[in-house]
Amino acid sequence: MANELALKYGCNPNQKPSRIFMKDGKELPITVLNGKPGYINFLDAFNSWQLVKELKAALHLPAAASFKHVSPAGAAVAVPMSDTLKKIYFVDDLELSPLATAYARARGADRMSSYGDFIALSEVCDKETAKLIAREVSDGVIAPGYTEEALEILKGKRKGSYNVIQIDESYTPAPIEHKDCYGITFEQGRNELKIDEEMLQNIVTENKTLSEEAKRDLVISLITLKYTQSNSVCYAKDGQAIGIGAGQQSRIHCTRLAGNKADIWWLRQHPKVLALPFKEKIRRADRDNTIDVYISDDYEDVLADGMWEQFFTVKPEPLSREEKKEWLSKLTGVSLGSDAFFPFGDNIERAHRSGVEFIAQPGGSIRDDNVIDTCNKYHMTMAFTGIRLFHH
């Protein structure tokens, strides 16, 4: 280890010089085992590592995250998967360890956004997880260690240039952090807030029901939000994030964005989607893109253009709006976290359309009564955490 690592450039090729270093002269808590990670790679690596470390500590399960541009595309813990999920995540042909299961879930939540991701793993990377990573398009991975077999597999990825970072699991950052903007240094205390089920005790709705699964999923959503560029909301179900809306100026826009992603996650499980007659040897990325088009309202226009012939053996019947609406009505038990208060009940109305039954948010809006009333209309359970989770 060293206390400084020179980088090729910063966010963009014109931003030179670039490096990461420890201001106190101590050694960096990471070792680059393969490749040459860049500036954005390290931002993704360090943010995502914190996320999975906290998920593991809170839920006592292996955790994984898929990061793009310093926000998670997906995050999950090792909850066993159904055969349907294994199929839509393209892992039904693999043997999955608990850690590989966590990454399959994190990657599968929003495969379009996860394309070219940076991966964080809470555990020593095993052979099963490395095999899964090896066949996906990804920029790199950070973990507390790698088995010999796993490291050998990962070193063979991207013609030997795949970025593999090992982090010291015992590393504790300084309590005060700094950031420069326009030549001016900002200073703040690190966000050391511990997120767990204790934050969910102040239930403000008429419905007080909060299952163990809902508590787990709300914790996942809140920890995910802690490392997502604000404004942000996170829909979670079955041990994973299923829709993340990051970096929006309006809260209703991130609620819609994340809700649309959750809807796509659910629509990918529709029997018609599962039965799409893809040609052999169609790449997973092309399947993802085609499935998204098939689910969209534009699909019939694409059919008319004859583009289906590139991917399908026969012309698939469209998924009608009525079929989509009927299928989406079956999505239930979804949990939703928000990094700041909901200012209006319209966020709840949109969340309801994507099966949300459980909500955790700070509270504190002058319209809290309206938000609570809207939750009560749909028999939702909502907890006020009293804690904002802005991340910039």
Give catalytic residues, as residue numbers: 68-69, 231, 392
DSSP tag of 349: H
Query: For the chain, how far is it from start to end, CA to CA, in angstroms?
Result: 28
Per the DSSP assignment, residues forming a β-bridge with 358 are 335, 381
Q: Which DSSP symbol is given to 312?
A: B
Nearest by Cα to 160 from 142, 134, 136: 134
Question: Hunting for tokens 């829709």 — which residue is that?
Answer: 243
Q: Which residues contact 13 (CB under 8 A, 6 or more apart)?
A: none
Are 101 and 78 in contact by the 8 Å Cβ rule? The answer is: yes
Neighbours of 184 (CB within 10 A): 7
Our measurement of the distance from residue 383's CA atom to the centroid of its chain's CA atoms, rounded to an integer in Å, reads 22
Q: List strand residue ranges (DSSP E) for 8-116, in order.
A: 18-21, 30-34, 63-68, 71-77
Task: Tell me which H or E stretch contains 236.
Answer: strand 232-237
For residue 320, the SS3 value is coil
| Structure token digits, residue 360 | 């955790």
The helix or strand, by DSSP H or E, that contains position 245, with its residue range, turns out to be strand 240-246
